[in-house]
Amino acid sequence: MRYESPTTTREAVTLLSKEKGKAYVLAGGTDLLVRLRMDMIDPDLMVDIKRIPAMNEIKKTATGFKIGAAVSGKQLGANKALVKAWPGVVEATNLIGSDQVQGRCTMVGNLCNASPAADSVPAMIAAGAKAVIVGKTKRRTVAVENIVTGPGQTSLAKGEVVEAVTLPKRPAKSGDAYLRFIPRTEMDIAVVGVAVSLTCKRGVIDSARVALGAVAPTPLLVKEAAAAIIGTKLDDEALDNLAAACSAACNPIDDKRGTIEYRVRVAGVLAKRAANIAFERAGGKK
Amino acid sequence: MTGVHVTTSINGDPVEYVCPADESLLDVLRDRVGLTGVKEGCGTGDCGACSITLDGTLVCSCLVLGAEAEGRKITTIEGMADGENLHPLQRQFIDNAALQCGICTPGFLIAGKALLDDNLDPTVEEIRYALAGNLCRCTGYDKIVRAVQAAAKDLRRQKK
């Protein structure tokens, strides 16, 4: 294996495109180096993106936030403006692993690792996040929900690198939240994850996005769930409709962490709770 | 396998080594630099026995490549005491019998110190969350939590 640590995105893309063998992008390494250690991968090249300045920044832009692909969970949690605007996204990322893992793990790594149970991905989807992808010949910006195509699979082409994710600017009276269910209090993989982002106008939910994790081969954007709460003050009927829409969208596996029946049911319960938190953060009153 | 030449700083000393590109920083520290205070428990970032700080950030050295350390600043358990003088957290681990077999201890000390560097008055809950990435199969954790609380008290007193 060769190790390269380029200082520009262009250089990283060139290295990855030219490699004839198996090439991997190394961000925080909290998934990739575990797979390396367990002999699940046999790389010819690893391209470390942590020396690329543009990938280490959290930038407040005219259109929202741009978070570099090498920004760690710890850095994310320390950015007050981001925590204020997108508490749900930051919480979701900060749920990943221990403090040791937080010092290294990245949102973009969580996205590109493409685990169905990734915590930050439903939160990003609910937030309307977009991935800024740089390839050999062009740059493209893709909604986060269109990146993961299956467990461990993404829509990225050979040589393409996600340079950053963008989060839109927050209108007043907005809130987001992410909740996951795990059998313990810390350090576990989601059995179900639910993210809700919404904006209120005159006390009523004007727009919303709801996303689920760990209940299907990919994280899901559930439009029917958002529709169930838009135009409401999140009354009990709206919450029941939200829960039903979330449960209906689930297509989970049966495994040691949770049965199909259990995951389907918990998705609805968590959706209600996450929606209540997001609504409260948006200043909504019932 | 191509060797990577790395120049870095460990516990304040300049260090150079050559390692295979896929070798972990944990293996480099133990087998090339001779700092065997850093332990391998799981090798997959779950147990925290290999905790170090990299540019001041707490990380598992098993999940860092040796090659990544170029130009960085590493601290390991070997850099915690000031000569013969133990750090208050080390002293309190001994006084509170916060260790039995000792394999997890360097990791707990590094993670505990990282917490105390940020927060000199952590609650029990904060201590337990901060140490959630460190596993101990002997103590049952209570004595470790008490040692961190006692060290926090010592450090607060020192600061006054």
> Where in chain A are the domains?
2-48+57-168, 174-281
Please say if the pLDDT value at position A153 is more than 60. Answer: yes
Residues 6+ apart with CB under 8 A from A209: A125, A126, A127, A128, A196, A197, A198, A221, A226
Torsion of CA B35, B39, B42, B47, to 10 degrees: -120
**Ramachandran sector of residue B34 (left: φ over 0; alpha: ψ -120 to 50; beta: rest):** left
* Predicted-assembly ipTM surpassing the 0.90 threshold: yes
Mean pLDDT confidence for A38-48: 97
If you average pLDDT over residues A76-102, what whole number do you get? 97
Please give the share of chain A, as a percent, with pLDDT higher than 70: 100
Which domains are assigned to chain B? 3-79 (3.10.20.30), 88-159 (1.10.150.120)
Q: Is the pLDDT of residue A246 over 70?
A: yes
**CB of A196 within 8 Å of any CB in chain B?**
no
- In order of A7, B28, B39, B60, the CA distances from B47 in angstroms are 32, 19, 10, 9
Preferred mutation among B65, B72, B127 to probe A, highest tally of A CBs within 10 A: B65
Q: Cα angle vertex A266, ends A187, A165, to 5°?
A: 60
- Tell me if A190 sits within 8 A of A214, measured CB to CB: yes
Give the model's pLDDT for residue A151: 97
> Per residue in B42-68, pLDDT tens?
999 999 999 999 999 999 999 999 999
Nearest to B1 among A1, A186, A187 (CB): A1
Can you give the pLDDT at residue A44?
A: 97
A247 pLDDT above the threshold of 60: yes
pTM metric for this prediction: 0.96
| Confidence category of residue A24, pLDDT binned at 50, 70, 90 | very high
Rounded distance between C-alpha atoms, residue A81 and residue A66, angstroms: 12
- Percent of chain A scored above 90 by pLDDT? 97
Q: Does B127 touch chain A (CB under 8 A)?
A: no
Beta bridge partners of A117: none
What top-level class would CATH report for the domain A174-281?
A: alpha beta
Tell me: the pLDDT tens digits for B59-112? Answer: 999 999 999 999 999 999 999 999 999 999 999 999 999 999 999 999 999 999
Q: Over the stretch A120-152, which tens digit does the pLDDT of each residue have?
A: 999 999 999 999 999 999 999 999 999 999 999
Q: Is B70 on the interface with A (CB under 8 A)?
A: yes
Q: Does B40 touch chain A (CB under 8 A)?
A: no
d(CA A48, CA A138): 21
Mean of the per-residue pLDDT values of chain B: 97
Number of C-beta neighbours around residue B4 at 10 A: 22
Whether B113 shows a pLDDT value over 70: the answer reads yes
* pLDDT for residue B1: 56
Architecture of the domain spanning A2-48+57-168: 2-Layer Sandwich (3.30)
Q: Is the pLDDT of residue A67 over 90?
A: yes
pLDDT band at A187 (very low <50, low <70, confident <90, very high): confident
